[in-house]
Structure 1
Amino acid sequence: MRRLLPLLILSLTLLACAPVARAPELASPAAPYTRAAFGAGWADSDGDCLDTRAELLADLSTVPVTLAPSGCSVRHGRWIAPYTGQVVAEAGDLDIDHIVPLRYAWDHGATSWSAEKRARFARDPVNLLPVSASANRSKGARGPLDWLPPDQGFRCQYVLRFRRISKAYGLAFTAAEERDLVALTGRVCGV
Protein backbone atom coordinates (compact mmCIF):
# COMPACT_ATOMS: atom_id res chain seq x y z
CA MET A 1 0.00 0.00 0.00
CA ARG A 2 2.84 2.42 0.83
CA ARG A 3 4.27 1.97 -2.67
CA LEU A 4 0.90 2.63 -4.28
CA LEU A 5 0.22 5.85 -2.35
CA PRO A 6 2.62 8.07 -4.40
CA LEU A 7 1.12 6.68 -7.62
CA LEU A 8 -2.39 7.33 -6.34
CA ILE A 9 -1.48 10.91 -5.36
CA LEU A 10 0.16 11.50 -8.76
CA SER A 11 -2.88 10.07 -10.57
CA LEU A 12 -5.29 12.24 -8.58
CA THR A 13 -3.13 15.31 -9.22
CA LEU A 14 -3.10 14.66 -12.97
CA LEU A 15 -6.86 14.16 -13.00
CA ALA A 16 -7.46 17.30 -10.97
CA CYS A 17 -5.40 19.31 -13.47
CA ALA A 18 -7.14 17.84 -16.49
CA PRO A 19 -7.94 20.63 -18.95
CA VAL A 20 -10.75 18.93 -20.86
CA ALA A 21 -13.92 17.06 -20.07
CA ARG A 22 -13.44 13.40 -19.33
CA ALA A 23 -15.81 10.61 -20.17
CA PRO A 24 -15.64 7.28 -18.34
CA GLU A 25 -15.52 5.52 -21.68
CA LEU A 26 -16.11 6.85 -25.15
CA ALA A 27 -18.74 4.75 -26.81
CA SER A 28 -19.13 4.53 -30.54
CA PRO A 29 -20.94 7.59 -31.86
CA ALA A 30 -24.70 7.18 -32.34
CA ALA A 31 -24.44 8.15 -35.99
CA PRO A 32 -21.64 7.30 -38.42
CA TYR A 33 -19.20 10.11 -39.21
CA THR A 34 -19.66 12.10 -42.39
CA ARG A 35 -17.75 15.23 -43.39
CA ALA A 36 -21.08 16.81 -44.37
CA ALA A 37 -22.10 16.87 -40.68
CA PHE A 38 -19.63 19.77 -40.28
CA GLY A 39 -21.14 21.92 -43.03
CA ALA A 40 -20.70 22.25 -46.75
CA GLY A 41 -16.97 22.93 -46.88
CA TRP A 42 -15.24 26.29 -46.86
CA ALA A 43 -17.55 29.29 -46.59
CA ASP A 44 -17.30 32.88 -47.75
CA SER A 45 -18.59 34.45 -44.53
CA ASP A 46 -18.01 38.08 -45.53
CA GLY A 47 -19.15 37.81 -49.16
CA ASP A 48 -15.84 38.95 -50.71
CA CYS A 49 -15.58 35.75 -52.84
CA LEU A 50 -12.62 34.51 -50.76
CA ASP A 51 -13.61 31.41 -48.82
CA THR A 52 -12.16 30.26 -45.49
CA ARG A 53 -9.20 28.57 -47.18
CA ALA A 54 -8.29 31.61 -49.29
CA GLU A 55 -8.63 34.02 -46.38
CA LEU A 56 -6.45 31.86 -44.15
CA LEU A 57 -3.79 31.59 -46.86
CA ALA A 58 -3.85 35.36 -47.41
CA ASP A 59 -3.65 36.07 -43.66
CA LEU A 60 -0.78 33.68 -43.01
CA SER A 61 1.41 34.41 -46.02
CA THR A 62 4.63 36.20 -45.10
CA VAL A 63 4.45 38.19 -48.37
CA PRO A 64 1.50 39.68 -50.25
CA VAL A 65 -0.40 36.93 -52.05
CA THR A 66 -1.16 36.68 -55.75
CA LEU A 67 -4.80 35.89 -56.43
CA ALA A 68 -6.25 33.94 -59.35
CA PRO A 69 -7.66 36.12 -62.18
CA SER A 70 -11.13 35.71 -60.66
CA GLY A 71 -9.84 37.25 -57.42
CA CYS A 72 -11.51 34.45 -55.50
CA SER A 73 -8.61 32.12 -54.73
CA VAL A 74 -4.96 32.41 -53.75
CA ARG A 75 -2.31 31.21 -56.19
CA HIS A 76 1.03 32.29 -54.73
CA GLY A 77 2.48 33.58 -51.49
CA ARG A 78 5.04 32.43 -48.96
CA TRP A 79 4.14 30.12 -46.13
CA ILE A 80 6.14 28.14 -43.64
CA ALA A 81 4.35 24.82 -43.30
CA PRO A 82 4.51 24.31 -39.52
CA TYR A 83 4.44 20.51 -39.42
CA THR A 84 7.54 20.20 -41.60
CA GLY A 85 9.18 23.64 -41.50
CA GLN A 86 9.13 23.74 -45.32
CA VAL A 87 8.82 27.07 -47.13
CA VAL A 88 6.03 26.86 -49.70
CA ALA A 89 5.27 29.38 -52.46
CA GLU A 90 2.44 27.66 -54.34
CA ALA A 91 -0.93 27.67 -52.57
CA GLY A 92 -1.86 24.47 -54.41
CA ASP A 93 0.93 22.64 -52.58
CA LEU A 94 -0.79 23.29 -49.24
CA ASP A 95 -3.70 21.65 -47.51
CA ILE A 96 -5.64 23.35 -44.77
CA ASP A 97 -5.44 21.01 -41.81
CA HIS A 98 -7.82 20.84 -38.88
CA ILE A 99 -5.48 20.63 -35.90
CA VAL A 100 -8.22 18.68 -34.14
CA PRO A 101 -9.49 16.60 -37.07
CA LEU A 102 -13.21 16.57 -37.75
CA ARG A 103 -13.43 12.78 -37.44
CA TYR A 104 -11.49 12.92 -34.18
CA ALA A 105 -13.88 15.56 -32.82
CA TRP A 106 -16.83 13.44 -33.94
CA ASP A 107 -15.50 10.49 -31.97
CA HIS A 108 -14.91 12.70 -28.89
CA GLY A 109 -18.28 14.38 -28.58
CA ALA A 110 -19.14 16.36 -31.72
CA THR A 111 -21.96 13.92 -32.45
CA SER A 112 -24.01 15.75 -29.82
CA TRP A 113 -23.24 19.26 -31.12
CA SER A 114 -25.64 21.37 -33.10
CA ALA A 115 -25.03 21.67 -36.83
CA GLU A 116 -24.07 25.33 -36.25
CA LYS A 117 -21.41 24.42 -33.67
CA ARG A 118 -19.96 21.73 -35.95
CA ALA A 119 -19.74 24.21 -38.86
CA ARG A 120 -18.13 26.82 -36.59
CA PHE A 121 -15.58 24.22 -35.42
CA ALA A 122 -14.77 23.20 -39.02
CA ARG A 123 -14.08 26.82 -40.05
CA ASP A 124 -12.52 28.12 -36.82
CA PRO A 125 -9.18 29.73 -37.83
CA VAL A 126 -7.71 28.69 -34.47
CA ASN A 127 -8.21 25.07 -35.57
CA LEU A 128 -6.79 25.57 -39.08
CA LEU A 129 -3.23 25.55 -40.42
CA PRO A 130 -1.81 25.57 -43.95
CA VAL A 131 0.41 22.49 -44.05
CA SER A 132 2.15 20.43 -46.69
CA ALA A 133 -0.22 18.04 -48.38
CA SER A 134 2.00 15.08 -47.46
CA ALA A 135 2.01 15.97 -43.74
CA ASN A 136 -1.76 16.40 -43.76
CA ARG A 137 -2.28 13.02 -45.35
CA SER A 138 0.21 11.43 -42.97
CA LYS A 139 -1.74 12.82 -40.01
CA GLY A 140 -5.19 11.93 -41.27
CA ALA A 141 -7.80 11.90 -38.50
CA ARG A 142 -5.31 11.11 -35.75
CA GLY A 143 -4.63 13.14 -32.63
CA PRO A 144 -1.30 13.78 -30.88
CA LEU A 145 -1.24 10.43 -29.09
CA ASP A 146 -0.95 8.75 -32.48
CA TRP A 147 0.79 11.38 -34.63
CA LEU A 148 3.19 14.27 -34.09
CA PRO A 149 4.55 16.76 -36.61
CA PRO A 150 7.85 15.70 -38.20
CA ASP A 151 9.31 19.11 -37.19
CA GLN A 152 10.21 18.50 -33.55
CA GLY A 153 10.41 22.26 -32.96
CA PHE A 154 6.65 22.55 -33.58
CA ARG A 155 5.49 19.59 -31.49
CA CYS A 156 4.96 21.49 -28.25
CA GLN A 157 2.90 24.20 -29.94
CA TYR A 158 0.88 21.56 -31.80
CA VAL A 159 0.04 19.60 -28.66
CA LEU A 160 -0.80 22.72 -26.64
CA ARG A 161 -3.00 24.08 -29.41
CA PHE A 162 -4.72 20.70 -29.83
CA ARG A 163 -5.51 20.60 -26.12
CA ARG A 164 -6.66 24.24 -26.02
CA ILE A 165 -9.07 23.69 -28.95
CA SER A 166 -10.34 20.45 -27.40
CA LYS A 167 -11.06 22.24 -24.14
CA ALA A 168 -12.69 25.25 -25.83
CA TYR A 169 -15.14 22.97 -27.65
CA GLY A 170 -15.71 20.61 -24.73
CA LEU A 171 -14.39 17.43 -26.33
CA ALA A 172 -14.49 14.44 -23.99
CA PHE A 173 -11.53 12.17 -23.30
CA THR A 174 -11.23 8.99 -21.30
CA ALA A 175 -9.16 9.24 -18.14
CA ALA A 176 -6.43 7.22 -19.89
CA GLU A 177 -6.39 9.55 -22.91
CA GLU A 178 -6.21 12.60 -20.68
CA ARG A 179 -3.41 11.08 -18.60
CA ASP A 180 -1.48 10.27 -21.78
CA LEU A 181 -2.04 13.78 -23.17
CA VAL A 182 -0.69 15.32 -19.94
CA ALA A 183 2.37 13.05 -20.11
CA LEU A 184 2.90 13.82 -23.81
CA THR A 185 2.69 17.55 -23.12
CA GLY A 186 5.38 17.19 -20.49
CA ARG A 187 7.64 15.28 -22.89
CA VAL A 188 7.31 17.53 -25.94
CA CYS A 189 7.23 20.81 -24.03
CA GLY A 190 9.97 19.92 -21.55
CA VAL A 191 7.68 20.62 -18.59
Structure 2
Amino acid sequence: MITNLLRGLTALTLALAPLTAATPAQALETVPLADAVELLPVVVEDRTGYTRSSFKHWTGGDDPADGCNTRQEVLLAEATVAPEVGPGCAISGGSWTSYYDGQTVIQAGSLDIDHMVPLAEAWDSGASTWTPARREAYANDQGSATSLVAVTARSNRAKADRDPAEWLPPAADVHCRYIGEWVGTKLRWGLAIDETELATLEVYGETCETTVVNYTAAP
Protein backbone atom coordinates (compact mmCIF):
# COMPACT_ATOMS: atom_id res chain seq x y z
CA MET A 1 0.00 0.00 0.00
CA ILE A 2 2.99 2.36 -0.28
CA THR A 3 1.52 3.62 -3.52
CA ASN A 4 -1.67 4.57 -1.67
CA LEU A 5 0.18 6.61 0.95
CA LEU A 6 2.10 8.55 -1.67
CA ARG A 7 -1.06 9.26 -3.67
CA GLY A 8 -2.66 10.80 -0.59
CA LEU A 9 0.29 13.13 -0.06
CA THR A 10 0.53 14.32 -3.65
CA ALA A 11 -3.19 15.05 -3.83
CA LEU A 12 -2.53 18.01 -1.51
CA THR A 13 -0.47 19.86 -4.13
CA LEU A 14 -1.36 21.60 -7.37
CA ALA A 15 1.51 19.94 -9.14
CA LEU A 16 1.24 16.66 -10.95
CA ALA A 17 3.44 14.07 -9.21
CA PRO A 18 4.10 10.40 -10.04
CA LEU A 19 4.00 7.71 -7.37
CA THR A 20 6.69 5.44 -8.71
CA ALA A 21 10.36 6.18 -8.42
CA ALA A 22 11.91 7.53 -11.60
CA THR A 23 14.22 5.16 -13.44
CA PRO A 24 16.45 5.74 -16.47
CA ALA A 25 13.56 4.57 -18.64
CA GLN A 26 11.08 6.76 -16.74
CA ALA A 27 12.96 9.97 -16.05
CA LEU A 28 11.08 12.59 -14.07
CA GLU A 29 10.24 15.65 -16.16
CA THR A 30 9.42 18.95 -14.47
CA VAL A 31 7.97 21.58 -16.79
CA PRO A 32 6.03 24.84 -16.28
CA LEU A 33 2.49 24.40 -17.52
CA ALA A 34 2.84 26.79 -20.47
CA ASP A 35 5.93 24.92 -21.70
CA ALA A 36 4.29 21.55 -21.09
CA VAL A 37 1.38 22.51 -23.36
CA GLU A 38 3.86 23.23 -26.15
CA LEU A 39 5.19 19.67 -25.89
CA LEU A 40 1.85 18.16 -26.90
CA PRO A 41 1.46 17.23 -30.59
CA VAL A 42 -1.60 18.72 -32.31
CA VAL A 43 -3.68 16.41 -34.51
CA VAL A 44 -7.18 16.00 -35.87
CA GLU A 45 -8.78 13.62 -33.39
CA ASP A 46 -10.77 10.64 -34.66
CA ARG A 47 -13.14 8.47 -32.63
CA THR A 48 -13.72 5.89 -35.36
CA GLY A 49 -13.91 2.38 -33.90
CA TYR A 50 -14.04 3.41 -30.25
CA THR A 51 -15.85 1.25 -27.71
CA ARG A 52 -15.40 1.46 -23.96
CA SER A 53 -14.66 -2.25 -23.89
CA SER A 54 -11.45 -1.49 -25.80
CA PHE A 55 -10.02 -0.48 -22.39
CA LYS A 56 -10.22 -3.30 -19.87
CA HIS A 57 -10.42 -1.56 -16.53
CA TRP A 58 -10.65 -2.15 -12.78
CA THR A 59 -8.78 -5.39 -13.38
CA GLY A 60 -6.43 -5.34 -10.43
CA GLY A 61 -4.72 -3.23 -7.79
CA ASP A 62 -1.08 -2.59 -7.01
CA ASP A 63 -1.00 -5.49 -4.52
CA PRO A 64 -2.81 -8.63 -5.75
CA ALA A 65 -2.49 -10.20 -2.30
CA ASP A 66 -4.97 -7.76 -0.72
CA GLY A 67 -7.81 -8.60 -3.12
CA CYS A 68 -8.43 -4.96 -4.05
CA ASN A 69 -9.10 -3.97 -7.65
CA THR A 70 -8.04 -0.65 -9.16
CA ARG A 71 -11.23 1.15 -8.18
CA GLN A 72 -10.90 0.04 -4.58
CA GLU A 73 -7.21 0.96 -4.46
CA VAL A 74 -8.00 4.50 -5.59
CA LEU A 75 -10.74 4.82 -2.98
CA LEU A 76 -8.34 3.69 -0.26
CA ALA A 77 -5.62 6.03 -1.50
CA GLU A 78 -7.77 9.14 -1.64
CA ALA A 79 -9.82 8.72 1.54
CA THR A 80 -9.53 11.69 3.89
CA VAL A 81 -10.86 9.44 6.68
CA ALA A 82 -9.72 5.86 6.23
CA PRO A 83 -12.52 3.35 5.68
CA GLU A 84 -12.69 -0.14 7.09
CA VAL A 85 -11.65 -2.87 4.70
CA GLY A 86 -13.32 -6.26 4.96
CA PRO A 87 -12.88 -9.57 3.18
CA GLY A 88 -12.55 -9.22 -0.56
CA CYS A 89 -11.60 -5.57 -0.06
CA ALA A 90 -15.16 -4.63 0.89
CA ILE A 91 -15.02 -0.94 1.88
CA SER A 92 -17.25 0.56 4.56
CA GLY A 93 -17.22 3.90 6.33
CA GLY A 94 -14.60 6.49 5.51
CA SER A 95 -14.81 9.94 3.95
CA TRP A 96 -13.65 11.51 0.70
CA THR A 97 -13.44 15.00 -0.77
CA SER A 98 -14.31 15.25 -4.45
CA TYR A 99 -11.94 17.95 -5.66
CA TYR A 100 -13.93 18.69 -8.82
CA ASP A 101 -16.80 20.16 -6.81
CA GLY A 102 -15.51 20.31 -3.23
CA GLN A 103 -18.16 17.89 -1.97
CA THR A 104 -17.56 15.61 1.03
CA VAL A 105 -18.72 12.04 0.43
CA ILE A 106 -19.17 9.43 3.16
CA GLN A 107 -20.35 6.51 1.04
CA ALA A 108 -17.86 4.91 -1.34
CA GLY A 109 -20.68 3.87 -3.64
CA SER A 110 -21.47 7.53 -4.33
CA LEU A 111 -18.06 8.05 -5.90
CA ASP A 112 -16.91 7.42 -9.44
CA ILE A 113 -13.27 6.83 -10.34
CA ASP A 114 -12.61 9.27 -13.15
CA HIS A 115 -9.93 8.78 -15.78
CA MET A 116 -8.33 12.21 -15.88
CA VAL A 117 -8.20 11.92 -19.67
CA PRO A 118 -11.36 9.95 -20.46
CA LEU A 119 -11.06 6.67 -22.32
CA ALA A 120 -12.81 8.01 -25.44
CA GLU A 121 -10.57 11.09 -25.47
CA ALA A 122 -7.51 8.88 -25.10
CA TRP A 123 -8.69 6.81 -28.06
CA ASP A 124 -9.16 9.96 -30.15
CA SER A 125 -5.70 11.25 -29.36
CA GLY A 126 -3.52 8.19 -29.86
CA ALA A 127 -4.73 5.13 -27.95
CA SER A 128 -6.54 3.73 -30.99
CA THR A 129 -3.14 2.52 -32.23
CA TRP A 130 -2.13 0.87 -28.95
CA THR A 131 -2.17 -2.81 -28.12
CA PRO A 132 -4.98 -4.07 -25.87
CA ALA A 133 -2.42 -4.58 -23.10
CA ARG A 134 -1.31 -0.95 -23.23
CA ARG A 135 -4.91 0.27 -23.19
CA GLU A 136 -5.52 -1.90 -20.12
CA ALA A 137 -2.43 -0.41 -18.46
CA TYR A 138 -3.74 3.08 -19.22
CA ALA A 139 -7.20 2.33 -17.83
CA ASN A 140 -5.71 1.05 -14.56
CA ASP A 141 -2.76 3.45 -14.23
CA GLN A 142 -1.66 3.74 -10.61
CA GLY A 143 1.85 4.81 -11.55
CA SER A 144 0.79 8.45 -11.38
CA ALA A 145 -1.16 10.05 -8.56
CA THR A 146 -3.46 11.89 -10.93
CA SER A 147 -4.31 9.45 -13.73
CA LEU A 148 -7.31 8.25 -11.71
CA VAL A 149 -9.30 10.36 -9.25
CA ALA A 150 -12.24 9.67 -6.93
CA VAL A 151 -14.97 12.26 -7.52
CA THR A 152 -18.71 12.56 -7.11
CA ALA A 153 -20.69 10.60 -9.65
CA ARG A 154 -22.50 13.81 -10.60
CA SER A 155 -19.32 15.67 -11.53
CA ASN A 156 -17.83 12.71 -13.36
CA ARG A 157 -20.93 12.21 -15.45
CA ALA A 158 -21.14 15.91 -16.22
CA LYS A 159 -17.58 15.71 -17.52
CA ALA A 160 -18.27 12.51 -19.49
CA ASP A 161 -15.69 12.30 -22.31
CA ARG A 162 -15.20 16.03 -22.75
CA ASP A 163 -11.84 17.80 -22.85
CA PRO A 164 -11.04 21.11 -21.07
CA ALA A 165 -12.33 23.15 -24.02
CA GLU A 166 -15.77 21.67 -23.29
CA TRP A 167 -15.76 21.09 -19.52
CA LEU A 168 -13.93 22.20 -16.40
CA PRO A 169 -14.65 21.33 -12.76
CA PRO A 170 -17.41 23.44 -11.17
CA ALA A 171 -14.97 24.46 -8.41
CA ALA A 172 -13.15 27.33 -10.14
CA ASP A 173 -10.27 27.34 -7.66
CA VAL A 174 -9.04 23.95 -8.91
CA HIS A 175 -8.91 24.80 -12.62
CA CYS A 176 -5.13 25.26 -12.70
CA ARG A 177 -4.66 21.96 -10.90
CA TYR A 178 -7.04 20.21 -13.27
CA ILE A 179 -5.38 21.60 -16.41
CA GLY A 180 -1.96 20.63 -15.07
CA GLU A 181 -3.11 17.09 -14.38
CA TRP A 182 -4.76 16.83 -17.80
CA VAL A 183 -1.60 17.97 -19.60
CA GLY A 184 0.59 15.74 -17.45
CA THR A 185 -1.53 12.68 -18.20
CA LYS A 186 -1.35 13.34 -21.93
CA LEU A 187 2.42 13.76 -21.75
CA ARG A 188 2.80 10.64 -19.61
CA TRP A 189 1.03 8.53 -22.21
CA GLY A 190 2.21 10.30 -25.37
CA LEU A 191 -1.27 11.50 -26.30
CA ALA A 192 -2.07 14.39 -28.63
CA ILE A 193 -4.49 17.34 -28.53
CA ASP A 194 -6.67 19.02 -31.12
CA GLU A 195 -6.71 22.71 -32.09
CA THR A 196 -9.67 23.66 -29.90
CA GLU A 197 -8.15 21.91 -26.90
CA LEU A 198 -4.83 23.65 -27.56
CA ALA A 199 -6.45 27.08 -27.51
CA THR A 200 -7.93 26.45 -24.06
CA LEU A 201 -4.75 24.94 -22.65
CA GLU A 202 -2.72 27.91 -23.87
CA VAL A 203 -5.01 30.33 -22.04
CA TYR A 204 -4.50 28.45 -18.79
CA GLY A 205 -0.80 28.14 -19.47
CA GLU A 206 -0.65 31.93 -19.34
CA THR A 207 -2.93 32.43 -16.34
CA CYS A 208 -1.71 29.50 -14.19
CA GLU A 209 1.81 30.87 -13.96
CA THR A 210 2.84 28.92 -10.87
CA THR A 211 1.51 25.54 -11.99
CA VAL A 212 4.26 23.03 -12.71
CA VAL A 213 3.71 19.67 -14.40
CA ASN A 214 5.80 16.76 -13.11
CA TYR A 215 5.43 13.51 -15.03
CA THR A 216 7.16 10.32 -16.04
CA ALA A 217 6.59 8.58 -19.33
CA ALA A 218 4.44 5.49 -18.91
CA PRO A 219 6.39 2.23 -19.16
Q: CA RMSD in A?
A: 2.2
Is the aligned partner of 1:86 residue 2:103? yes
Aligned pairs for 1:5-44 (under 5 A) are: 18-23=38-43, 25-26=44-45, 28-29=46-47, 31-39=48-56, 41-44=57-60
> Deviation per CA, 1:99-135, whole angstroms, max 9, x where unpaired?
1000011111110112121111111133111000100
Measured in 2, the distance between the counterparts of 1:83 and 1:181 equals: 18
Q: TM-score, normalised by structure 1?
A: 0.81
Q: TM-score, normalised by structure 2?
A: 0.71
Is the aligned partner of 1:150 residue 2:166? no
Is the partner of 1:96 in helix, strand or coil?
Answer: strand
For residue 112 of structure 1, the aligned residue among 125, 129, 149 is 129
What is the aligned partner in structure 1 of residue 17 from structure 2?
Answer: none
Percent identity, please: 35
Q: CA deviation at 1:16?
A: 10
Aligned pairs for 1:38-53 (under 5 A) are: 38-39=55-56, 41-45=57-61, 46-47=63-64, 48-53=66-71
Q: Which amino acid aligns with 1:97?
A: D
Q: Number of aligned pairs?
A: 172
Is the aligned partner of 1:165 residue 2:185? yes
Between Structure 1 and Structure 2, whose CA radius of gyration is higher? Answer: 1
Q: After the TM superposition, list the runs of 4 or more consecutive aligned residues in structure 1 that deviate by more than 4 angstroms.
A: 14-17
* Structure that is richer in helix per residue: 1
Q: CA deviation at 1:178?
A: 2.0
Q: Which amino acid aligns with 1:94?
A: L
Is the partner of 1:138 in helix, strand or coil?
Answer: helix
Q: CA deviation at 1:75?
A: 2.4
What is the aligned partner in structure 2 of residue 133 from structure 1?
Answer: 153
Distance 1:17 1:181, change over 3 A: closer
The structure showing larger relative contact order (alpha-carbon pairs under 8 Å, at least 6 residues apart) is 2
Q: Which amino acid aligns with 1:44?
A: G
Distance 1:93 1:176, change over 3 A: closer
Distance 1:63 1:33, change over 3 A: same
What is the aligned partner in structure 2 of residue 62 from structure 1?
Answer: 80
Measured in 2, the distance between the counterparts of 1:176 and 1:53 equals: 31
Gaps of 5+ in 1: 1-13
Q: Which amino acid aligns with 1:80?
A: T
What is the aligned partner in structure 2 of residue 7 from structure 1?
Answer: none
